[in-house]
Chains A and B, each alone.
Chain A
Amino acid sequence: MTHDELTIANPKMKAEGVDVFYGAKQAINNVSIDVGTDLVTAFIGPSGCGKSTFLRSLNRMNDTLASARVTGKITLEGEDIYAPSMDVVQLRARVGMVFQKPNPFPKSVYDNVAYGPRIHGLAAGKADLDLIVERALVRAGLWDEVKDRLGESGTALSGGQQQRLCIARAIAVNPEVILMDEPCSALDPIATAKIEDLIHELRGKYAIVIVTHNMQQAARVSQRTAFFHLGTLVEYGKTADIFTNPKQDRTKDYITGRYG
């Protein structure tokens, strides 16, 4: 494979030589990777290899931990996201995140989705906000299931519905990137299939990065796969190549179930 084939044409985000430390402990070591809007990127690797740590560095979630320190360069549309001029609240709206456990606010379904647009002043009035909420729920594939219960608490939904609600919440603020950290690990196969289907739908509209422990899921939803091990990016390639013919022995051992 030539290097050119792997180059992302218009990278939405670019990480170059990124290190992440927790106190003195280095969790990510010199990672460089590009993510684009046309291709879904999957991060795989054994537990503790730093996938979540690296993912969180892409929208400065690590800032919330006093011990965490990020060095290297990460840009969004060419802008350094760690520059002093960067508005972190704005950044997290542009780079949304969906977590392993669905975490709706203890508010109505409607308010869960409307929350972001409200604080970012994205809606001109009530009618506009209604439209934004509906559109986000439609995109998240949840509208038909909740359109008659918008006033009910978000926490009253099933786990799979809650996760799609969280995706709707992320979408509602018009993000450019959506980061998903094991978004299906608490879901049954049908709810999982719905999220995967949604990822297909959303591809091209948002740059999507998904961390998953499920090899088949990575193979199904992504076009690019990055394998992490002990804080380093061991191998990056087309998903089909990584799963049929990985170049690195460490990647091969991991995906064929010969790890540890």
Chain B
Amino acid sequence: MAIINEHTVKAFDADLNRLRGLISEMGGRAEQALIQAMSALANGDRPLAAEVVEGDKAIDALETEVERLAVQTIALRAPMADDLREMIAALKIVSVVERIGDYAKNIAKRVALMDPARSIEAIPLLTSMSSLVAELIHDALDSFAARDTELALRVTVRDKTVDDFYNSIFRTLVTFMMENPRHITESAHLLFVAKNLERMGDHATNIAEMVYYAVTGERMEERERGEQPEDGAAEQE
């Protein structure tokens, strides 16, 4: 990794550092929201779920703040080359992180709709899947902070495991619904949770791709995709 010299205009570095700090904080909150939402789901912890829903406002506010600062920096400092790409990446990354926050909130909202007495065998799989997704979000944002393209590449590679998780949870839940028709509501909710997690993994990959572009100026080679999700839904990208 090339050592990045300071700008002749020091205030520019201060703006960039503040921007990076806000994005880290936002990413940290989104990752935390996911971990808490899954914990609330696994334990039927409704107060914790409500906290996650409430906490999403802070994530939205951070997005607004990053947008404001990025637009101001573009207007006042007219960044070029790497700096310009980083600014554009920052804007795109925060909108993706905001979506990740929304998915966490969506998962948390389902907790109140489910009967906590009904434990379902897919939940441990979902918990493992969510740990991996949280790790990918964490690493994607770390790769941005450190301008680390190797780490970014590893995020996109590991996203294939998230897709594998999704496919196997999908099969597990479909089987479970056939065997336990009375649990169809819960199973359907969990199916949505799995789908949300799968989308979050895709978003982590998007972040990694943007980091790669911001650092190198090149597009990441189209990553080898794992199997398509088996629910037949078309890719939303």
Complex-state Cα separation, A246 to B9, whole angstroms: 20
**Is A253 part of the binding interface, using a Cβ–Cβ cutoff of 8 Å?**
yes
Chain B interface SS verdict (over half): loop
Contacts of B2 in A (CB 8 A): 249
Shortest Cβ distance from residue A121 to the other chain B in the assembled complex, whole angstroms: 47
Q: Are B78 and A256 in contact (CB under 8 A)?
A: no
Complex-state Cα separation, A246 to B79, whole angstroms: 13
Complex-state Cα separation, A245 to B83, whole angstroms: 10
Q: Are A258 and B8 in contact (CB under 8 A)?
A: yes
**Residues of A in contact with B, size category:** 10 to 19
Residue interface bits A223-260, CB-to-B below 8 A is 1, else 0: 00000000000000000000111100100110111111
Q: Are B217 and A257 in contact (CB under 8 A)?
A: no
Q: Are A257 and B84 in contact (CB under 8 A)?
A: no
Shortest Cβ distance from residue B36 to the other chain A in the assembled complex, whole angstroms: 40
Complex-state Cα separation, A165 to B12, whole angstroms: 39
Q: Which of A216, A256, A260 contacts B81 (CB 8 A)?
A: A256
Q: B218's closest neighbor in chain A, by CB? A: A245
**Is B1 part of the binding interface, using a Cβ–Cβ cutoff of 8 Å?**
no
**Is A215 part of the binding interface, using a Cβ–Cβ cutoff of 8 Å?**
yes
Q: B9's closest neighbor in chain A, by CB? A: A257
Q: B80's closest neighbor in chain A, by CB? A: A255
Shortest Cβ distance from residue A179 to the other chain B in the assembled complex, whole angstroms: 25
Contacts of B82 in A (CB 8 A): 252, 256
Q: B83's closest neighbor in chain A, by CB? A: A256
Q: Are B8 and A257 in contact (CB under 8 A)?
A: yes
Q: B5's closest neighbor in chain A, by CB? A: A258
Residue interface bits B55-85, CB-to-A below 8 A is 1, else 0: 0000000000000000000000111111111
**Is B182 part of the binding interface, using a Cβ–Cβ cutoff of 8 Å?**
no
Complex-state Cα separation, A166 to B7, whole angstroms: 37
Complex-state Cα separation, A256 to B78, whole angstroms: 9
Contacts of B8 in A (CB 8 A): 257-260
A245, A246, A249, A257, most chain B CB atoms within 10 A? A257
Q: A245's closest neighbor in chain B, by CB? A: B217
Q: A256-B83, A257-B12 are in contact. Are A215 and B5 (CB under 8 A)?
A: no
Q: Are B7 and A244 in contact (CB under 8 A)?
A: no
A215, A252, A259, most chain B CB atoms within 10 A? A252
The 9 closest A-B pairs by CB, nearest first: A245-B217, A255-B80, A258-B5, A256-B83, A257-B7, A252-B81, A256-B81, A256-B80, A257-B8
Chain B interfacial positions (CB closer than 8 Å to A): 2, 5-9, 12, 77-85, 217
If A249-B2, A256-B81, A258-B6 are given as contacts, then 17 extra A-B residue pairs at C-beta distance below 8 Å, sorted by A number, are A215-B78, A215-B80, A216-B78, A243-B80, A243-B81, A244-B84, A244-B217, A245-B85, A245-B217, A253-B5, A255-B80, A257-B8, A257-B9, A257-B12, A257-B77, A258-B5, A258-B8
